[in-house]
Amino acid sequence: MEVIRAKQIAESGKIVPVTYEGQQVMIQHVDEEREMARIYRKNDPEKEWEVPVRLLQEE
């Protein structure tokens, strides 16, 4: 996924199907400079972690 699209999804407030390693995730925040996204699994919102935006896939 491109950084600009990840940022659009994060800021939209809408639920957009995004996966990371085959699991559905929500994008919490995008750091454009580092090209990293803070994400969490839809079924476990308490556990967040950072991953490279390029590894996210929009379905």
Residue 53's pLDDT band (cuts 50, 70, 90): very high
Backbone angles phi, psi at 33, to 5 degrees: -65, -40
Q: What is the pTM of this model?
A: 0.90
Query: pLDDT for 9-52, tens place per residue?
Result: 999 989 899 999 999 999 999 999 999 999 999 889 899 999 99
> What pLDDT does 7 receive?
97
Of residues 46, 47, 42, the one with CA closest to residue 59: 42
